[in-house]
Amino acid sequence: MNNPTTESEVIEVVRAHARLLPVGGGTKPQLGPIHENTHRLDLRRLTGITEYQSSEYTFTARAGTPLQEIHETLGGKGQYLPFDPLWPEAGATLGGTVAANAAGPGRLRFGGLRDFIIGVRLVDGRGQVIRGGGKVVKNAAGFDLPKLMVGSLGRWGVMTEICCKVFPKPIAWSSREWVFSDHESALAKALELSRSRFEPDAIEYLPAECRLVLRMGGPAESLPALNNAVGGENGPDDTWWRQRKEFIWANDSKALIRIATSPRQVVPLLNALAADSDARTQVSAAGNTVWVNTGEVSQLDEILGSLQLTGLVHRGPSTALWLGLKSDQKIDAALQAVFDPEHRFSDAG
């Protein structure tokens, strides 16, 4: 029963192992088990969309469901996941996406995982099923356990089923781009665009080329006029945006680190990273996320520490998971005692 296909099998596996950690498609391997004696609970057979009515703007799927399957099903009804999850083509699952809070460029418009997850079923460390949230788009009943799962890295338990809100997918997309002479002016433009009337869906910055790229969706007839009004040059096509979520720009023999930033912290970080000639960087969501691909992990750890920033290693070789400023909340331990009193899932974050 190593690869459960039902929730009751998940319960059995949880109860049978003193240390375990759920894994999905393995697209963010550094977030998975580190220790040899930790059981990898493979959820790739716990799949399937269990409910989907497009008129509700919601769907429910088992945690191991591949994002691609969800994309295809939603796409058939003209809907999509506005948080724009990462690594869909590499095989990422819905559960892993929630646990890693892995939102992509499109999160700029309507928000990330936290803004679209509305319900969760979870097998906790006691092997009990906990059910948080609900299946309707608006719900203020009980504590918001679905949000607590976002970014949890599997530490509270094994998510078995997840319910999300979805939106109608824009009919057509267009992209614009600008090249600047320095990071300051590029980031200033990014912020100007993010508070403009145009409601951009994505604003990404490629520091190596000082290139700022914007994406807008909408009715096809409206896009030429919007393109003119926004300015800039014609930007990249849909393939480029798809590949961006697969991180084809990153070197897999080096570590890939995600850093949560406020927009104003981006330029100082990029400047500090200039010392590492080896590092590749990408700035996402108008300066709210910086991705760094480097072999110099300990140097980055120091840089982040000095800038009071936190990084999380998603892929590639690294002995550390967290870099820079470490969170040290007493409440984390108290919540762990609630969800996982025997520390079955402690090999996470």
Partner 1 sequence: MTSLEGLRDIIPPDRLFVDPAQLKSFESDGLTAFKATPRAVVLPETSDEVVAVVRWCARERIPFVARGSGTSLSGGSLPVEDGIVIGLNRLNRIIDLDPEERIAVVEPGVINAHVTQAATPHGLHYAPDPSSQIICTIGGNVAFNSGGAHCLKYGMTSNHVLAIKAVLATGEVVTFGSRSRDHLGPDLTGLFCGSEGLFGIALEITLNLLPPAEEFHTVLVGYRSLEAAGEAVSAIIDSGLLPGALEIMDALAIEAAEAAVQCNYPPGAAAVLIVELEGPREKLTVERVQLDELLSATHAFETRVAASAAERLSIWRGRKSAFSAVGRLSPDFIVQDGVVPRSRLGEALRRIQEMSQETGIRVANVFHAGDGNLHPLILYNGHENGALERAEALAARILRMCIEMGGSLTGEHGIGVEKSAYLPDMFDAPTITCFKDVRHAFDPNEISNPGKMFPGPEAPALQHSGAHPLEKAGIISRE
Q: In sequence order, what are the residues at sequence separation of 6 or more whose Cβ sits closer than 8 angstroms to the Cβ of residue 15?
A: 127
Interaction of residue 12 with partner 1, rule CB under 8 A = no
- Write out the binding residues for partner 1, residues 13-42 only, by CB under 8 A: none
CA–CA distance, 15 with 43 (Å, rounded to integer): 16
Q: Which residue, 67 or 203, has its beta carbon nearer to partner 1?
A: 203
Among 29, 219, 231, 317, binds partner 1 (CB under 8 A): 219
Tokens of residue 295, six digits: 């072999």
Interaction of residue 52 with partner 1, rule CB under 8 A = no
The least distance separating partner 1 from the CB of residue 277, rounded to whole angstroms, comes to 26
Tokens of residue 81, six digits: 């996941």
Binding mask 167-206 for partner 1 (x = CB under 8 A): xxx-x-------------------x--xxxxxx-------
- Write out the binding residues for partner 1, residues 286-305 only, by CB under 8 A: 288-289
Q: In sequence order, what are the residues at sequence separation of 6 or more whose Cβ sits closer than 8 angstroms to the Cβ of residue 152?
A: 98, 99, 348, 349
**21: nearest Cα among 100, 108, 113:** 100
Among 155, 244, 245, 254, binds partner 1 (CB under 8 A): 155
Q: Which residue, 261 or 294, has its beta carbon nearer to partner 1?
A: 261
Q: Which DSSP string do the residues of 235-285 spell out, in sequence order?
A: ---HHHHHHHTTTTTS-TTSEEEEEE--GGGHHHHHHHHTT-TT-EEEEEG
Interaction of residue 115 with partner 1, rule CB under 8 A = yes
Please give the size of the binding site for partner 1, defined by CB under 8 A. Answer: 86
Contact in structure between 312 and 300 (CB atoms under 8 Å): no
Interaction of residue 138 with partner 1, rule CB under 8 A = yes
Question: Dihedral sign, CA of 71, 45, 345, 257?
Answer: negative
Interaction of residue 338 with partner 1, rule CB under 8 A = yes
The least distance separating partner 1 from the CB of residue 142, rounded to whole angstroms, comes to 6
Among 83, 178, 205, 339, binds partner 1 (CB under 8 A): 339
